[in-house]
Amino acid sequence: MIVSTTFEVNGRTVTQHLGLVRGNVVRSRFIGRDIVAGLRMIVGGEIHEYTKLLAESREQALDRMIEHARSLGADAVIGVRFETTDAGAGQATEVLAYGTAVKLG
């Protein structure tokens, strides 16, 4: 499956648009991570616990988007974007991956 942030695939022609595809995941924070993260916020620097959590969430959302595209018979997903939103009064984060499923010639 070709996944691209652009709206074309180099050397290929889009022959059919299959529509919007998306994948999302909502993850809550873990109290153990929050304690360590809170300490790092005081000292400063990267909060590795949250970086890892968001990276895992992006990968899972991307995998779900690709699965959605495959279910439509797509060869590629173009115009891929990510969005994040606080959910559950700041206790969870939603990560959404979306794009346009297409057939290529």
Range of the domain at 62: 2-28+58-104
pTM of the model: 0.84
Give domain status of residue 12, yes or no. yes
Give domain status of residue 45, yes or no. no
How many domains is the chain partitioned into structurally? 1
- Sign of the C-alpha dihedral, residues 29, 33, 39, 40? negative
pLDDT tens for the 105 residues of the chain, in order: 999 999 999 999 999 999 999 999 998 865 555 566 565 566 667 777 778 888 999 999 999 999 999 999 999 999 999 999 987 776 788 999 999 999 999
